[in-house]
Every structure is written in structure tokens, then in C-alpha cells.
A and B are shown apart, each in its own frame.
Chain A
Amino acid sequence: MTVHTDVPARERGQTDAPAPERVSHAGEEEKRRKARYPGRQTWAAWPAYDAAGLGFRGYWYPVAWSSNVAAGRPVRITLCGENIVLVRDSKGLHALYDRCPHRGVPLSTGTQEFDGSISCPYHGWTFDTSTGRLGAVITDGPDSPICGKVSVATYPVEELLNLVWVYMGVDGEEPTPLLDQIPEELRGVSFNLGGRIKVRRGDWRLTCENGFDEGHAKFLHRNAMWRRFKSMPVWNVTKLEQRGRWLFRVQTEQHWTAEFPGYGSWPPERESRWRIKPSADGTQSISNTGNPKAPHPHIAAQDYPGFVSVSMPGVLRVVYPDFIHYEFYVPYDADHHRYVGLMVNFDSGFRSLLFKAKYLGFVRWFFHGLFAAQDAWMVDETDAPPERLYRPDVSLTTWRSMCEDAAEERTARLNPTA
């Protein structure tokens, strides 16, 4: 699928403008999709996306660092609007619905009185951590008749990349392999990983759209310390290209200065004085700073068409010459999301130590901290829909359409007879 931002002038900024032509569909489905593209004021053109305020089901989500879930210390998380308790015991890691059915007390406030179980702190209702079944009620004696008649929901949970992942499906649904959801370039290779997890205000969709937003970084982040000494284009000509499950922003033109009629040129001298000048050959496929640095061989081997890409269920991938940055926008509740920012570097040996030192001493503060905080600020301030989109927002509309496709495919898979 290829979509260009150069939509006809008559369509720009019009509330009744149709979405850009998409070429991946044909037939009745395409006609139906076009029919629901009458305007962009609301998200009605993307009904599944519009309804996904609590996230899409059928995916694994990273929720915590593995080391933060210790045996004997249950951890409460919120995912897709559901409260979940993570419990570690001799049988492994478990995830259960965090509510005792007796009186609604969170099990995460309880204790692990017996191995393989968690007990509610109120009356000692004790649940098997593997099955969620009520195995004992300490305050009702060993022959409590309610045992075995009550249970709490359990969730598939796995650990990978030193992270805890929880699968959010529907009742009885078999989870997909977690490895299928890990970015392809991370499978079967060793790497260094630095990351930051934080619950932030804002709908996960808004923060995902912010991440994949073509226009924002060049202006919003221009004075972030992470970008203070690097040039960024004033504007780009961008097309969208889908490869497998990833949707890429492909920059076909980068304009480092621009003359705005009636206003003058931008950026002003004070904006660019301290910045490293972009390379003379213009367009770069890796990074957005004109950095001519040759990419790491493993990164170069991926042959990414663009440096920013996004995939379901809200994973951003930003490729730089010597590392790849990922952002997992994990639905928390309707008003919050869990930001999981990971930076991956493929060096080994002594350079691994340099990467870790760089991450802890600089990246963590200036990229995953201050730079990402600018995004969090904008997400918190965003009040859309309603909205009035502009040319670069084809990145958003194409992403929403991709979500729509994935939701339809999942619906068809779960309901083959419908």
C-alpha cells in the first residue's frame, strides 16, 4: 500500500475531504470503506479505532520490568481498563483479575500464605494462582463448602526482554505467540536494551498518533536537548508504505529551510546557529537529522524504507544509525496509557558498557525523559476529535485505517461464520 501526502489542493483542510486513495483493497469492502470516509471531523470513519479507547484485544502488552515482580510481593497493574495482579511463586509468573469475588477487595493487597496461591487480606480467601480457582478460605475452615465454586479470571502472562507481557484477549481465546509480536529485527540476536516505563495521562491512541505524527517532531522537539544540536527539516514530502505489519513514513523530500510568503524564511538564524548542518546529499532514509553516519550493519541489513514505522497494537519504531528506539503505547484506562520506551543497540563487548552508560547518563534523561515529556505534554493538551487535519496527517489517517483492517481481520478470524 502506498499513500502520498500530496493530496489535491481542493481536499486540503476541508472538513468533507475524502481520505487519500488506498490501493490495498478492492471490491465491495473498498466501496464500503470509501462510503464511510465523508469527513474527518470525527473518528466515525474508523469505527473500530473509535471504539478502542481501552485498547485492541488480541495482543500482548508489556506492563512491567520482570525484576519488579518478586515472589511474595504481588503487583497491581491496570491494562485495558482491567485491574490485574501479577504474582510470582515457585510455579512461575501469574496474572489474575485483581478483585476478590467475596467483597471486592483487591487481591494485590493480599499475601501469599501458601506457595502457588494468593490470599485476600480481608477474610483469607485463597486462590490458586495458576487457575484462579478458590482453593481455600482460611476463615471458614478446611471444609469450606464454597471452595471450588468460585474463581477469578486469569490472563496469559509471559516474560521476554526482561519485561512482563500480558495477553488481552476475549474469554477462551488462545493467545498468539508472544514472539510474533516482538519486532522482527530483535529475534535471534543479542543486543543491549535500555528502557523506561511510566504511566502517563492521555488516551493511548493520542499518544500513538503523536508518535507517528509526521509533522510534530520537527517543530515541537526542535529545542529539546536531545535535538538541540542537530538539524531537523522544516517540512517533508512523505508517503506511507506498508510492509508486512509495519506502516512506514517514507520521506521523499526533506526541506531544511523554507520561505513563507508574507512572513519570511524559517528557521531563523538563532534556531540553526548551534546545529550540526545536514549532509549535502539531502534525503536520508535513516534518522531525520541529516546525519550521514553509516548505520550499524544489523540495522542496515533490515533495509527499512523509512526511519519511523508503527504497528499494531500501538508500537512505534524509530530507527537511527546506531540504535533503534521503540515506544509501546499500552492502554491503561480511558484517560491514561503506559509508556514503555525501549532503546536497543546491537553492539557487544566494551561498546555494550558504553551504551549502558550513555543510556543511564544521557538518553534516559534527555530522550526518554525530557524529549518524551514534550510528547506527553502535547498528548495531555490534545482535545480531539473533533479535529481538522492537514496534509502530513495522512500518517494518522493511514494508521487508523490499518487499525481498522486489523480489527476487521480479527473479527473475521474469531467469527468465521459471521
Chain B
Amino acid sequence: MTRISAFILPAVTVAFAIATYPTVRNFLANNTRTQVHRINV
């Protein structure tokens, strides 16, 4: 249990975040309703 909580779960979480980052970023950038931006002058 300790090994799962200390190593495996964080590793899976990070791997999932890395794997889905392009999709999530693309979804956010092209979402027709909600978007976030940095507006620079």
C-alpha cells in the first residue's frame, strides 16, 4: 500500500498528465465556450 501511494499513483498521475496534455491544451485553445489567454501589450 505504501509503495502504491508513494510511487505508483504519482507516476501514473504524471504519466496521464503528460499523455493528455496536448489534447487538453488543444481542447482549451479551441473550445467554443470557454478559453483563457494572456493578453500582452
Please report A residues at the B interface, Cβ cutoff 8 Å: 64-65, 67-68, 161-162, 186, 188-198, 352, 356, 359-360, 364, 368
Residue on B nearest A68 in the bound complex, by CB: B32
- A126 → chain B closest CB, angstroms: 27
**Contact status A196-B33, CB under 8 Å:** yes
**Contact status B36-A193, CB under 8 Å:** yes
Provide 19 A-B residue pairs closer than 8 Å at the C-beta atoms, listed in order of the A residue.
Answer: A65-B31, A65-B32, A67-B35, A162-B35, A162-B37, A186-B39, A188-B41, A190-B38, A192-B36, A192-B38, A193-B38, A193-B39, A194-B34, A195-B34, A195-B36, A196-B33, A352-B38, A356-B36, A360-B28
* B40 on interface, CB distance cutoff 8 Å: yes
- A348 → chain B closest CB, angstroms: 9
Residue on B nearest A344 in the bound complex, by CB: B39
Bound CA span A347–B10, Å: 30
What is the number of residues of chain B that contact chain A, defined by CB distance less than 8 Å? 14
Bound CA span A189–B38, Å: 11
**Contact status B32-A194, CB under 8 Å:** no
**Contact status A161-B33, CB under 8 Å:** no
Give every chain A residue within 8 A of B30 (Cβ-Cβ). Answer: 67-68
**Contact status A198-B39, CB under 8 Å:** no
Give every chain B residue within 8 A of A194 (Cβ-Cβ). Answer: 34-37
* B15 on interface, CB distance cutoff 8 Å: no
Give every chain B residue within 8 A of A197 (Cβ-Cβ). Answer: 32-33
- A98 → chain B closest CB, angstroms: 18
* B29 on interface, CB distance cutoff 8 Å: yes
Give every chain B residue within 8 A of A64 (Cβ-Cβ). Answer: 32
Bound CA span A98–B31, Å: 23
Give every chain A residue within 8 A of B39 (Cβ-Cβ). Answer: 161-162, 186, 190-193
Bound CA span A194–B39, Å: 10
Bound CA span A193–B33, Å: 13
**Contact status B41-A190, CB under 8 Å:** yes
The 8 A CB mask of B14-35 against A (1 = contact, 0 = none) is: 0000000000000011111111
Q: Which of B29, B31, B32, B37 contacts A193 (CB 8 A)?
A: B37
**Contact status A359-B36, CB under 8 Å:** yes
Give every chain A residue within 8 A of B38 (Cβ-Cβ). Answer: 190-193, 352
Give every chain B residue within 8 A of A192 (Cβ-Cβ). Answer: 36-39
- A159 → chain B closest CB, angstroms: 12
Give every chain A residue within 8 A of B28 (Cβ-Cβ). Answer: 360
- B36 → chain A closest CB, angstroms: 4
Give every chain A residue within 8 A of B29 (Cβ-Cβ). Answer: 67
Give every chain A residue within 8 A of B33 (Cβ-Cβ). Answer: 196-198
Bound CA span A192–B39, Å: 6
Give every chain A residue within 8 A of B36 (Cβ-Cβ). Answer: 192-195, 356, 359-360
Q: Which of A188, A191, A195 contacts B35 (CB 8 A)?
A: A195
Residue on B nearest A70 in the bound complex, by CB: B30
Bound CA span A67–B30, Å: 6
